[in-house]
Chains A and B, each alone.
Chain A
Amino acid sequence: MQISIYRFDPDENEAPRMEDVELDLPEGRDLMVLDVLELLKAKDPSIAYRRSCREGVCGSDGINMNGRNGLACITPLSEAAPRGKLTLRPLPGLPVVRDLVVDMSQFYRQYEKITPWLVNDTPPPAQERLQKPRDRDKLNGLYECILCACCTTACPSFWWNPDKFVGPAGLLQAYRFLADSRDTATAERLAALEDPFSVFRCRGIMNCVSVCPKGLNPTRAIGKIRTMLLSQGI
Chain B
Amino acid sequence: MALVTNVGSFGRSGLADFVLQRVSAVVLGLYALCIVGFFATTPDIDHAALVGFLDSLTMKAFTTLALVALAMHAWIGMWTVGTDYVRRHYFGRGHTVYLALYQLVCVGAIFVYVLWPLSVVWTVGGP
Asked if A30 is an interface residue, CB under 8 A from chain B, the answer is: no
Taken residue by residue from 181 to 213, chain A's Cβ proximity to chain B (1 for < 8 Å, 0 otherwise) reads as 000000000000011111111000000000000
For the complex, is A123 an interface residue (Cβ under 8 Å from B)? no
Asked if B85 lies at the interface with its beta carbon under 8 angstroms from chain A, I say yes
Tell whether B40 is near chain A: CB-to-CB under 8 Å.
Answer: no
A15 at the interface (CB under 8 A from B): no
Q: Are B14 and A194 in contact, CB atoms less than 8 angstroms apart?
A: yes
Contacting residues, chain A, for B5 (C-beta < 8 A): 164, 195-197
Give complex CA distance A194, B18 in Å.
10
Report which residue of A196, A197, A198, A229 has the largest number of chain B beta carbons within 10 angstroms of its beta carbon. A196
Q: Which chain A residues lie closer than 8 Å to B4 at the CB level? A: 164
Which residues of B have CB within 8 Å of A230?
15, 18-19
Among A161, A195, A226, max chain B CB count under 10 A is at A195
Asked if B57 is an interface residue, CB under 8 A from chain A, the answer is: no
Secondary structure of the A contact surface, majority rule: loop
A194 to B12, CA, bound (A): 10
Pairwise interchain contact A199-B84, C-beta atoms closer than 8 A: no
Instruction: Determine whether A112 belongs to the interface, using a CB cutoff of 8 Å to chain B.
Output: no
- B17 contacts the other chain (Cβ, under 8 Å)? yes
Give the dominant DSSP class at B's interface: helix
Beta-carbon contacts under 8 Å, B3-30 to A: 4-5, 9, 12-15, 17-19
Q: From B1, B12, B13, name the one whose CB has the most chain A CB atoms within 10 angstroms.
A: B13
CB contact between A161 and one of B13, B15, B19, B83 (< 8 Å): that residue: B83
Chain A residues near B13: list those with CB within 8 A.
194-196
- Interface status of B60 (Cβ within 8 A of chain A): no
Which partner residue on chain A sits nearest B17 by CB separation?
A196
Nearest CB in chain A: distance from B96 CB, A: 14
Cβ-based interface call for A163 (8 A): yes
Nearest-CB residue, chain B, relative to A234: B19
Docked Cα-Cα span, A27 to B50, in Å, equals 76
Q: List 19 A-B contacts (CB under 8 A).
A: A161-B83, A161-B87, A164-B1, A164-B4, A194-B13, A194-B15, A195-B5, A195-B14, A196-B12, A196-B14, A196-B80, A196-B83, A197-B14, A197-B83, A198-B14, A200-B14, A200-B18, A201-B80, A201-B84
Residues of B at under 8 Å CB distance from A?
Answer: 1, 4-5, 9, 12-15, 17-19, 80, 83-85, 87
The 6 A-B pairs of least Cβ separation, nearest first, read: A200-B14, A196-B14, A160-B84, A194-B13, A233-B15, A229-B15
Given contacts A196-B13, A200-B14, A230-B15, 5 further A-B contacts (CB under 8 A): A157-B84, A161-B84, A163-B1, A194-B15, A196-B5
